[in-house]
Amino acid sequence: MNDYQFLAKLYGVRGSYPIAPMEGTKIGGNTACMLVRTPEHVVILDAGSGIIRLGKELIPEILNYNKETGSLFHITILFTHTHTDHLLGFPFFAPIYMPGVHIHFFGPATLGMPFKEIMSTQVIPQYFPVSMDEFRSKKSFQNIDENMYIYFNPGNPEPQIGHVFESESAFSVLSIYNMKYYFHPKDGSYPYRVEWQDKKIVFATDVEEYAGGDQRLISFARNADVLIHDAQYSEEQYKRFAGYGHSSIKAACDAARQAEVKQLLLYHHDPNNSDQVLKEMEKEARKLFPASELATENWEWRL
């Protein structure tokens, strides 16, 4: 029996590239990946190196589902953008090799290139020994845009696509909205807002707040129960890296305050920042927004 009706869990919290420091890390060394799910619907946000462990954990559930139902196990993967640290884990995601799985990929066309083409290019023979067509799972690809949202109905594990100018299905049990964030180089990123019943969790990585905050993003995250917000830099570091597409802890806290969220998770940790440095950043964040904490691998929100 599942001990949850809704689950959000972080599997990767680093930015830029995964790390395995000699001294270890309790915060986590894998790049961006989060699971959000109900007992019936499995959704993954970003496919950084954290998705590798997640894939291994899903195998027993997939095999049991295939055996009991004789049907494909459906997994939906949403991408905020297609920079390497957010997709490097997908060729090592075990379910993609399983014929009893259907993976639904959603992501942005970038600089004129369709999302499917971007993903397929990552696994051409010059870069990887298994091509997209050789993965044994069934695969579907869909470009995302701001005018669409994804929802799930009871009794159907497949994602449905809605339009913001249409009425949402009255029977949906899980809905995921997106917005285009224009200031991450090059061609922006897509924060997501996951809604289950009256609960909201916002995943806003690779965003760089500016003076006064991005009011579109703040409105998008308004009254969220949990805001997972890029906070890669300390204030001193941000002076050197302004314009790189990532926020300081101060900017993240300011966005959380303006959006009146209940909890802020500081996310997309710089690979050069040790656990000790990150803990100091967390202390500074709590002075600005008391309900702040570091995003860590294995963080969970069970409802």
Q: Is 288's pLDDT higher than 60? A: yes
For the question of whether the overall pTM of this predicted structure is more than 0.85, the answer is yes
Say which residues have a Cβ less than 8 Å from residue 300's Cβ, sequence separation at least 6. Answer: 7, 8, 9, 10
Instruction: For 13-32, write each residue's pLDDT tens digit.
Output: 999 999 999 999 999 999 99
Superfamily of domain 7-302: Ribonuclease Z/Hydroxyacylglutathione hydrolase-like (3.60.15.10)
Q: What is the pLDDT of residue 170?
A: 57
Say which residues have a Cβ less than 8 Å from residue 31's Cβ, sequence separation at least 6. Answer: 12, 14, 15, 16, 17, 18, 48, 49, 50, 85, 86, 88, 89
Q: Is 1's pLDDT higher than 70? A: no
Instruction: For 135-174, write each residue's pLDDT tens digit.
Output: 999 999 999 999 999 999 999 999 999 998 876 655 689 9
- In 157-167, which positions are buried (b, 16+ CB within 10 angstroms) versus exposed (e)? bebeebeeeee
Residue 212: band (very low, low, confident or very high) from pLDDT cuts 50, 70, 90: confident
- Which of 264, 191, 197 shows the shortest CA–CA distance to 224? 264
d(CA 26, CA 15): 16
Instruction: For 64-106, write each residue's pLDDT tens digit.
Output: 999 999 999 999 999 999 999 999 999 999 999 999 999 999 9
Helix axes 275-288, 249-259, angle to 10 degrees: 40
What does the mean pLDDT of the chain come to? 95
